[in-house]
Amino acid sequence: MTFSHSANGLSRPADNVVILDFETTGLSPNQGDRAIEIGAVKLQNGEIVGQFQQLMNPGFRVSSFIEGYTGISNNMLRTAPSCDVVMNEFADFIGDANLVAHNASFDQRFLDAELEQINRHYGGTFTCSMLIARRLYQDAPNHKLGTLVDYKNIYHNGVFHRALADSEMTARLWLVMLDDIKQQYGIETIPFALMMKLAKTPKAKIAALLSSYR
DNA sequence: TGCCAGGCCCTCTTTAGGGCCTT
C-alpha cells in the first residue's frame, strides 16, 4: 500500500522540519552556478535531532567575491567531494521532510537543480522563513537573516554566510516565530500547512488567518 | 563577444518600475 507523503506532510507539526542553507558559486543555477556547501538541521518537536554539513567541489574555481563572502576558498574546495556525492547523501538526510529556508526560492532552485543532476527527488514541501518574518515582524529594520537574529535577540556564534551556521540561525528564528504565533494567537499546535498559508497571505489578512486556528 | 536571477511586494500600479532577499 502506498500513500502520498506530500499530501500527508502538510498536516505535520511545523516544528517537525528540516531547515537548510546553501552556499553557492552565484545566484542562479540557470546561469551555471553550483552549490559549494550545504548545511541543515533536522527538528523534531522543536528539538534539533540531527544536522548535516558538507563542502562540495563544483568542478570549477569560485570567484574571489564568493571566497570573501563565504570564507570558503578554492583551496578548501579542491579536496572536497563532488556535488553529486554530497547531494546524494543529503537527499537521504532530508527524506520526505518538509523544508524551510530563509528566502526559500533561492535554496529551492539550487536543491532542485542539484538533485536533478543525480536523478534524486524529495517528497516534502518548502516554505520560507523570510516571507513569514516579513509578515510577523513588520517593524524590523529589514528582513535579512542576520538582522532578524539580532532583532529577536537570538543566540548566534558570530559565524555568518556558512551553511550550517546560517541553517542553525534560521532554525532558531523559525522556532521563535512559532512561539510568537502560539503566544499571540493561543494556538497549541501549528501545522506546517498554516505556515505555508501564512507565507502567502496578504499582511492585512494575517490576523484573521491566525485567529481562525485558535 | 557579451550577456548575466527570480520571486515577492509596494506604489507615484495593473499598458510598470524598482527595492528586497538569497550567493
Question: For chain A, which domains are there?
Answer: 9-211 (3.30.420.10)
Strands (E), chain A: 17-24, 35-44, 47-55, 98-101, 126-128
Given a contact cutoff of 8 angstroms between Cβ atoms, the answer to whether A80 and A58 are in contact is: no
CA of A140 to C1' of B9 (A): 16
- The span from the CA of A173 to the CA of A128, in Å, is 12
CA-closest candidate to residue A154, choices A99, A196, A102: A102
Q: What is the pLDDT of residues A125-161, one digit of tens each?
A: 999 999 999 999 999 999 999 999 999 999 999 999 9
**C-alpha cell at position A137:** 515582524
Radius of gyration of the CA atoms of chain A, in A: 17
Judged by C1' against the alpha carbon of A69, the nearest nucleotide is B23
Given a contact cutoff of 8 angstroms between Cβ atoms, the answer to whether A99 and A18 are in contact is: yes
Q: What is the pLDDT of residues A87-124, one digit of tens each?
A: 999 999 999 999 999 999 999 999 999 999 999 999 99
CA of A76 to C1' of B8 (A): 35
Find and give the residue nearest to B5, measured CA to C1'. A28
Judged by C1' against the alpha carbon of A133, the nearest nucleotide is B21
